[in-house]
Amino acid sequence: MNSLLAFLFLCFCFCSSALSRPYNAIFNFGDSLSDTGNLLRSRSHAVPAIGKLPYGETFFRHATGRCSDGRLVIDFIAEAFGLPHLPPYLGLKQGQNFSRGVNFAVAGATALDADFFYKRKSGIILWTNHSLTVQLGWFRNLKSSLCTSTQECDKYMKNSLFMVGEIGGNDYNDAYFVGESISEVQSFVPLVVEAITAATAALIEEGAVELVVPGNLPIGCSAVYLTLFQSPNRADYDENGCLKAFNDFAKYHNNYLKRSLHALRTKYPFAKIMYADYYGATIPLLHAPKHHGFYEGTLKACCGGGGPYNFNKSAKCGDVGSKACENPGSYVSWDGLHLTEAAYSFIAKAFLQSLPSLVA
C-alpha cells in the first residue's frame, strides 16, 4: 500500500468513527505520549530538545513541544471526531475559546505525586512535578469557564471524551533509569494504578461519562531500554528482539490496570470506561513491520546519536551529535523512547476501530 492509499485508508477509518461517535470536546491527561506543548511552556529558561527541530518536522514543520516528528495519538483522535488539535493548558490565552477541549498532559509527568519519589530517596530527578493530581486540579480550575449551571455542565460533560493517559510510564522509567530492579519497581505498580483509577473516578464525580484509560506500551522494545539494559544472554530477548522481562512488566501493569477499571465500572455503571490497548496495538508492528510500511524495522530509533539502536544518552535526539533519519515514516521509534507520527497513527487507528466493542 503506497503512502497516498494508506493516508486515504486512515482518513476513511477516522471519518467513519467520527460520524458514529461525535464529541463536542476532548480533555486529555498524561505524559510525553500526549503532551502537545505543556512541558515546553512550563520551563522558563532552558528549552528542552523537544522545543526545536527535528521534533515536529514531519507534519507541523516546526517544533510544538510534542515528543515526536509529528502528530500524536491524541491528535489523530481529535481529527477523527472533527475537533481541532488540543491546545496545551499552559498555553491558553485570556479570551481564547477552549470549549472544544484542552490538553493537560505534561512530558515527564508521573501518575504519583512528586513527594512519593522524593520520600523514597532513590536518586530520581523528575522532569516535572505536574503529576496527574496537578493536571486534575487544572481541569477543575478550568471547569467553571466551560459551563455555569448544573444542567449545562451535565450536558457538556456527557458530550465530552476524557483521555486519562497514557500515564504511569515515567513512574517506572525514572526508577529503572537510576538502577532500581524490576521487583522493586513492580512493588509500586498498585500505587500507580490506584492513582490512575482515582483520577478517573474523580472525573466521573465531576460529571464525565465517557472516559478512555490507555495502557502502557511494550517498553522492552524501546531503543532506550534495549541500549541501557542490553544482555549477552539471547534468552532474555523474544522473537522480535525485545527484552522479555520489561515487556512482561508492561503487561503486568496493564493487567493490573484492567482489573482496577473493571472494579470502577461496577462502582459507576452509568459511565463508559474504555481501556485502550496501546500494547496490543503495537504488537503487529513488531511482528511484521514491513507489512505495515515500516521498512526500517521497529527497534532502531530514527533520531539519535548512534549505537546499535541509534540511542546514545550522551547525544539524544536534538542534542549535538545526533541526527534524524530522512524518512521517519518508515520507522516505528522516533527518539528511542517515543514513537513516530506514522506509528502513532497506526495505534490511533487500532483504537478507533475498537471503539464499538469497547463501549458495548
> How far is 189 from 112, CA to CA, in rounded Å?
10
Q: pLDDT at position 33, please? A: 98
- In order of 24, 138, 170, the CA distances from 145 in angstroms are 15, 12, 31
Residue 135: give the domain boundaries: 22-220+236-290+352-356
Using the predicted structure, report yes or no on whether residue 48 has a pLDDT greater than 50.
yes
- Label the pairing between strands 303-304 and 323-324: antiparallel
Using the predicted structure, report yes or no on whether residue 347 has a pLDDT greater than 70.
yes
> How far is 59 from 243, CA to CA, in rounded Å?
31
In a domain, residue 326? The reply is no
In a domain, residue 70? The reply is yes
What mean pLDDT do residues 245-250 have? 98
Does the active-site annotation cover 338?
yes
Measured at the CA of 67, the angle between CA 66 and CA 70, to 5 degrees, comes to 65
Count of domains for the chain: 1
> How far is 222 from 278, CA to CA, in rounded Å?
14
> How far is 298 from 300, CA to CA, in rounded Å?
6
Measured at the CA of 201, the angle between CA 112 and CA 32, to 5 degrees, comes to 45
Does the active-site annotation cover 262?
no
In a domain, residue 97? The reply is yes
> How far is 48 from 120, CA to CA, in rounded Å?
27
- Label the pairing between strands 101-103 and 25-29: parallel
DSSP single-letter state for residue 4: H
pLDDT in tens, 51-79: 999 999 999 999 999 999 999 999 999 99
Find the catalytic residue in 17, 32, 131, 333. 32
Reported as type and span, the H/E element at residue 323 is: strand 323-324
Q: pLDDT at position 49, please? A: 92
> How far is 218 from 279, CA to CA, in rounded Å?
6
pTM more than 0.75: yes
Q: pLDDT at position 122, please? A: 75
In a domain, residue 329? The reply is no
All three cell numbers of 208: 464525565
Question: 73-80 vs 341-359: helix axis angle to the nearest 10?
Answer: 50
In a domain, residue 11? The reply is no
What mean pLDDT do residues 289-311 have? 95
In a domain, residue 322? The reply is no
In a domain, residue 321? The reply is no
The answer to which of 210-219, 228-237, 267-276, 347-356 has the lowest mean pLDDT is 347-356
In a domain, residue 339? The reply is no
Reported as type and span, the H/E element at residue 238 is: none
Find the catalytic residue in 85, 130, 253, 338. 338
Q: For the chain, give the percent of residues with pLDDT over 90.
A: 84
Nearest to 163 by CA among 34, 342, 32: 34
How many other C-beta atoms lie within 10 A of the C-beta of residue 173? 22
Residues with Cβ within 8 Å of 46's Cβ and at least 6 positions away in sequence, in order, are none
As a whole number, the mean pLDDT across the chain is: 91
> How far is 280 from 292, CA to CA, in rounded Å?
15
CATH value at residue 141: 3.40.50.1110
pLDDT in tens, 93-126: 988 999 999 999 999 999 999 999 988 877 788 8
The identity of residue 184, as a single letter, is E
> How far is 334 from 332, CA to CA, in rounded Å?
7
pLDDT in tens, 143-174: 989 998 999 999 999 999 999 999 999 999 99
Does the active-site annotation cover 42?
no
